[in-house]
Chains A and B, each alone.
Chain A
Amino acid sequence: MAGLEDLYREIILDHYRSPRNRGELAVPPAHRVEGFNPLCGDEVVVYLEVNDGVLTDLRIAGQGCSISQSSASMMSAAVKGRPVEQARKLIRSFKAMMSIHEHSLGGEDSTEDPEDQSEADTLKPEDLGELAALQGVVKFPVRIKCATLSWNALAQGLDEIAAGVLPLDRT
C-alpha cells in the first residue's frame, strides 16, 4: 500500500508552498490555454510565449490541489527558456512516466496519443531531475489527472502556436 510520503514528496510540497512562475502574460503576444480537471473542478491557465522556436516565457495561473499546482510549477521551471522541441520531449517523457498506471487501468489516455507510446524519444524518469518526484503519483491513479493537467495544457498551447491559431480566434 502506497503511503502519503510517496505522493507528497518534500520537493512537491515546496513547489506547492512557493510556486514558480505564477502570474499572467499579456495576450497577445502571449498565448493562453486553459486546462480543466472534470474530477475536482481544478483549473490551470498556462500563458506561453514562443519566439524563434524558443519558449521564452511562461506563467501559470488558476487554482488547484497541491499535485496540480506543484506539477505546473515544476513544469514551468523545467521548460521556460528551452527550445520548443526540448519542451515537447519533456512533455512526452513526463506523460510517459505518468501513463504507467493509465495503461494498466486501460485509461483513456492509453490510446489517446500514439506518440506517447514511442519510447525512443523520451527521457527516463531518472533523467527528469526533480520532476521524477511526481512519479509517486502513479500509485494514486485518481491523482494522475491532477499531475498531467498543466502538461496537457502546455502541449495544446504549443500545438496551437505551431498551427498558427491566434489567441483571438479562441474565445
Chain B
Amino acid sequence: MTTTVEAGPLDVTALRREFPILQQRSHGRRLVYLDSASSSQRPRAVLDAMDHYYETTHANVHRGVYAIAEEATRQFEMARRAVGRFIKAPRPEVEVIFTKNATEALNLVAHSYGRHLLPDRKAILLTELEHHANIVPWLMLAAERGVELRYLPVGDDYRLDLRDLDRLMDGVGLVGVSTMSNVLGTITDLSPIVQAAHAAGAVVVADASQLVPHRSVDVRALGVDFLAFTGHKMLGPTGIGVLWGREELLDAMPPFLGGGEMIRDVRLDGFTPNDLPWKFEAGTPPIAEAVGLHAAIGFLESLGMNRVAAHETDLTSRAIEILMERHGDDLKIFGPTTDLPARGGVLSLAFRDLHAHDLAQVLDAEGICIRAGHHCAKPLMRRLGVTATARASFYVYNGEDDIQALSDALDVAAAFFG
C-alpha cells in the first residue's frame, strides 16, 4: 500500500467528512465525540474495506485451496505485515499475533509466559496507573503461583515516580507498564524502566493501547519485550487486538488457547503446536477485522503519525487554556499540564462538586460524548482520592470547536445543578 503523507496541520473539517458517524446528530445537535480513549470512530475507508472483503473474498484462512480462500489468507497475512511495519517490528510475519483485544493479548503473556517461563520466586512489578487489563491478569497469576506483586507509584505531578526504581526492581522477573495512561494522559518515560528491568534480567510487557493510536511507535527503540494494543482505539474495528513479542520469547512460550489453527499435528494422545505466529491463534481468527485494521493503519499512515501527534498536542494545549481560563476556579485537571508532548490528548476532570455521571448526563443532552467513571483503573482512582472522573479525550477528528462546545456545556451543567 502506498501512502502519500501531507504536510502541515490536519484539516479537521475535511477529515470529519470521512467518518459517517460524525455526520449524525445527537439530541438534535452536532455529535461532539470526546471519548476516543475508550473507543475511536472509524472512517469510511475501514468500513468499505471490511464490506468489500465480505462481499468479494471471504472464506476461512489457512485452509481452502480455492481462489477466494487463498485471497482471504493473503489479505489476513498482509494485515499482519502492515501491523508489524506500523510498530517497526523486526519480523512482522512471526512476531505479530492477532488477538481479540489488548486484554486478551495481556492475558496471553500472563498465561504463556507468566505461568511457564517466569522463574520461581521472581516478583512482578506493575505501576499504579495501569488499566485493569494490565493488573487483573497478574493478580490472577499471583494468586495461582504465589508471585509477589509490586507497584511503581504515581507522583503528585501525575507521572511515575522512579526514585525507588532500583529497590523495587530487585528480584523482579517481569515488568508490566502502560506506555500512556488512559486516565491521566501521562506518557511513560520507558527507557529507565526498560534499562533497569533488563539489568535485573526481567522482561517488559508494555500496554500500548493508548499510545499506538496516537504516536509513532518503534518497538526496537522502546526496547520492550512485549507490546499489546487494540484495534478499536485506532480507527479500526472491535474484535481485534495485537500482541507483538520478541521472536525468541514467543518461540519458547507454550500455546495459550487450544484448538484448530494453532496445531501442526494432533493425535489421540497429544499435539504438536504450529509455528509462530499461528501457535497463538487458536480457532478462526478475526479476518475481516484484520482487513479493517489494515485499512485503519493505512488511513493513519496517510495522515502521518507525527501530524496526528502534533494535532493532539495542540488541541490538548488549547483545551487546557480554554477550560482553565473560563472555568479555572471550578475545574481540576487530573494529569500533567506542562511538558505537553509527554502527555496524550486525555483530560480527566472534576468540575465543581458535580459527580462525573451527572456532568456526563448533562453534556449528553448537549450532544457531547465524554466518559464518566473509574476508567477501569480503580487503583489509580484511589491514589487520586476520587471514585470517578469525567474524561474528555481527543483524536484526529476533534477540533477547537469541540473544546468550545465542552466549555459551553460546563456552564449549562453549572446552571442546571445550581
Contact = CB atoms under 8 A, between A and B. Distances in A.
B409 to A, nearest CB: 12
Given A4-B365, A7-B361, A8-B416, A43 B355 contact: no
- Nearest 7 CB-CB pairs, A to B? A65-B355, A41-B387, A41-B374, A65-B357, A40-B373, A66-B358, A4-B365
Interface string A63-79: 11111000000000000
A39 B387 contact: no
A43 B417 contact: no
Interface residues of B, number: 18
28 contacts: A4-B361, A4-B362, A4-B365, A4-B416, A7-B361, A8-B358, A13-B417, A13-B418, A17-B418, A39-B373, A40-B355, A40-B356, A40-B372, A40-B374, A40-B387, A41-B373, A41-B374, A41-B378, A42-B387, A65-B355, A65-B356, A65-B357, A66-B355, A66-B358, A67-B358, A140-B361, A143-B357, A146-B357
Contacts of A66: 355, 358, 417
B365 A42 contact: no
A1 interface: yes
Interface in B352-404: 355-358, 361-362, 365, 372-374, 378, 381, 387-388
A40 B361 contact: no
Given A40-B356, A40-B374, A63-B387, 18 more contacts: A4-B361, A4-B362, A4-B416, A7-B361, A17-B418, A40-B355, A40-B387, A40-B388, A41-B374, A41-B381, A42-B355, A42-B387, A42-B388, A43-B387, A65-B355, A65-B356, A67-B357, A67-B358
A67 B354 CA distance: 12
Contacts of A43: 387
A143 to B, nearest CB: 7
A106 interface: no
B356 A3 contact: no
Nearest to A2: B365
Contacts of B357: 40, 65, 67, 143, 146
Contacts of A7: 361
Interface of B: 27, 355-358, 361-362, 365, 372-374, 378, 381, 387-388, 416-418
Interface string A140-165: 10010010000000000000000000
Contacts of A13: 417-418
Contacts of B418: 13, 17
Contacts of A17: 418
B388 A41 contact: yes
Contacts of A146: 357
A155 B417 CA distance: 30
A8 B359 CA distance: 12
A7 B373 CA distance: 19
A138 B373 CA distance: 20
A63 B381 CA distance: 14
A3 B356 CA distance: 18
A85 B17 CA distance: 60
Interface string A101-114: 00000000000000
A42 B356 CA distance: 11
B77 to A, nearest CB: 39
A52 B417 CA distance: 41
Nearest to B378: A41
Centre residue among B27, B361, B378, B416 by max chain A CB count within 10 A: B361
